[in-house]
Amino acid sequence: MPRELGVRKLTAFKLESEGTYGSAIPLKNCVSLKTTNNYTEIEYYSDCTTEHSSATLQNVEVEAVMSSNMGLKLLAELTGLEYANGKMATVIGGVVPQFALAYEILMDDNTTRRRVLYNCNLRKEEQSNETESEGEEWTFTGKSLPVEIKGKQYVDLWMSESEIEAITEPETKAKYKAEYEKFFTTVIMPGEPTGV
């Protein structure tokens, strides 16, 4: 089985209203991306033992490390800062916008997996600038929260190129391949492909 190598094609889609996203905003020069699932533990005890134990996913923490060559206009758009004509300012009480965040993971067999986090916010953490460096990096952190789609709470969606290629029914395979190709131009939703 192939293994994951790295991340590329990080793309944001601004959440305009519940379930409606804007155009793709490519985020060039992603150094690393880390996601952490946060669960609520549920346990019941009886007769001096654990009767039931489970966990429920609540949200996904996101940490993206980006090259500091990102323009200020894009930085402001991602983090909710004020921007006009090359000037960016931080406003106390400013609201961090919500995005769908899509990316691609390269596999060691040269295929890819793709993932989208549906309701994500990112804020830029502090930075340090040194006289001599190999190029500074900016760290963005945030959370991906669940969104309701067709009566269910979703936090993300994954697609696998190799598993789509393994579909034997030609019409089904064609629909999923077409959807996979649109991954960085529109936000892909769970369920059967639509409008392909």
Q: What is the CATH number of the domain that holds 124?
A: 2.30.110
pLDDT tens by residue, 139-194: 999 999 998 888 899 999 999 999 999 999 999 999 999 999 999 999 999 988 87
DSSP secondary-structure letter at 185? T
Residue 22 lies in a domain: yes
Nearest to 165 by CA among 156, 155, 176: 176
Per the structure, the complete domain to which residue 15 belongs is given by 4-181
Say if 159 falls within a structural domain: yes
Tens digit of pLDDT for each residue in 13-31? Answer: 999 887 789 999 999 888 9
Write down the pTM of the prediction. Answer: 0.86
Q: Is the pLDDT of residue 93 over 70?
A: yes
Report the C-alpha gap between 195 and 89 in whole angstroms: 41
